[in-house]
């Protein structure tokens, strides 16, 4: 299951043991309660039609693990069962709706789509972006205008004076580390892990951000 590096590192800190290329093949119960599962190791085989190496079971690598909870994570896809032959909406081989990425328009005039129904599982940000594009396209469609998007430069509404930044000698090159809740205080609960920067760290990071040339300066000095 995909995760960013920070999430993986945090999980390892909290005692999560990760088994890669491992396939659960059987579950066992004691008195009607889940007690353990059997798994087999996998190896990457030949490339399939999609260009990915297909995992195949490694003979003789089966092992069992004691467990009390099993959470299946087998992916997800849009439920398009409501579509029939009369609908004629084009779908992809991944069972998602096909749209024009510039306008979110489907192959049927007046029907627009976005979000996971188009991209498959993705981020909230991507879904919001698709929603805004679709809304603009729907507005143009209702008015009988061309769906072609027009890209205009956004001019600032307020003139913000230039910020005085510190000199190269007064600012750190490295990004400050985000303070986190200690492991013993965050396991087995839903407390916020990232505590946020202090005012001093936030100001220092903002100053560093305004100095986009710092990385080049550092490289020249190495």
Mean pLDDT of successive 10-residue stretches along the chain, which has 222 residues: 81 90 93 94 88 90 93 81 83 91 94 93 90 96 93 72 64 79 91 91 82 58 46
Query: Measured between alpha carbons, how far is 4 from 178 in angstroms, rounded to an integer?
Result: 15
Query: Measured between alpha carbons, how far is 102 from 100 in angstroms, rounded to an integer?
Result: 5
The pLDDT of residue 208: 78
The pLDDT of residue 222: 47
The pLDDT of residue 64: 95
- Residue 84 backbone phi and psi in degrees, to 5: -130, -175
The pLDDT of residue 160: 61
Handedness of CA 174, 180, 182, 187 (dihedral sign): negative
Taking the whole predicted model, whether its pTM rises above 0.75 is answered as no
The pLDDT of residue 219: 47
The pLDDT of residue 211: 74
The pLDDT of residue 73: 78
The pLDDT of residue 36: 95
Domain boundaries, the chain: 5-66, 85-152, 168-221
- Per the CB < 8 A criterion, the answer to whether 76 and 57 are in contact is no
């Amino acid at each position: 299951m995909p995760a960013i590096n920070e999430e993986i590192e945090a999980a390892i800190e909290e005692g999560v043991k990760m088994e890669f290329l491992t396939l659960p093949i059987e579950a066992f119960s004691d008195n009607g309660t889940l007690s353990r599962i059997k798994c087999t190791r996998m190896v990457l085989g030949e490339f399939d039609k999609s260009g990915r190496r297909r995992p195949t079971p490694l003979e003789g690598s089966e092992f069992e693990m004691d467990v009390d909870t099993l959470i299946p994570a087998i992916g997800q896809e849009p439920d398009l069962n409501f579509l029939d032959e009369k609908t004629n909406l084009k779908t992809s081989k991944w069972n998602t709706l096909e749209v024009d990425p510039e306008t979110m328009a489907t192959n049927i005039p007046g029907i627009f789509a976005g979000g996971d129904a188009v991209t498959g599982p993705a981020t909230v940000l991507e879904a919001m972006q698709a929603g805004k594009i679709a809304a603009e396209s729907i507005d143009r469609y209702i008015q009988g205008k061309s769906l072609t998007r027009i890209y205009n430069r956004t001019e600032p509404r307020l003139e913000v004076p230039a910020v005085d930044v510190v000199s190269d000698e007064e600012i750190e090159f490295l990004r400050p580390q985000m303070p986190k809740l200690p492991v013993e205080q965050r396991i087995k609960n839903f407390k916020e892990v990232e505590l946020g920067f202090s005012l001093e760290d936030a100001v220092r990071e903002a100053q560093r951000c305004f100095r986009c040339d710092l990385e080049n300066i550092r490289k020249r000095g190495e």
